[in-house]
Amino acid sequence: MVRPFSVLALLALAGCASSPPPPSLAQAQQALATAQAEGASQYAPQAMQTASERLKDAQAAMANDRDIQADRLARESIVNSQLAEARTEEAQAAAAQANVRRAGGEAVAPPAVPETAPPVMVEPATPVIIQ
């Protein structure tokens, strides 16, 4: 026979279990890995550092059961990884253009994205209070 107390204790323990990480955490890890593979650490070190820091902060928040904060920080990491990728693509395009010019060809300049632009911060979503 199952005792009512043991069922309640089991339900209480299940409620205390950590929730699964938000999908944005895995997406942030993938975005950072992709940017690193593209060589973004060389061309956009500031954005890469910010992306890496935000990912570490997101992982720490998740470890402390701060899921909403972890999601926000992971999304910031994603955006900064994408920024680093864009700056890398621009720098690589500029290098390719310089090679074309040296070879005597004509090329069109890509729009400039300065590395000195501040990292992107994502505003937290409006909290939802469930009663």
pLDDT digits (tens, 9 = 90+) for 62-108: 999 999 999 999 999 999 999 999 999 999 999 888 888 888 766 55
pLDDT tens-digit map of 25-69: 999 999 999 999 999 999 999 999 999 999 999 999 999 999 999
d(CA 28, CA 33): 8
Do the Cβ atoms of 51 and 80 come closer than 8 Å? yes
Mean pLDDT of 115-131: 60
d(CA 79, CA 89): 15
pLDDT-based confidence at residue 19 (cuts at 50, 70, 90) = confident
d(CA 51, CA 120): 9
Q: Look up residue 17 and give its DSSP letter.
A: S
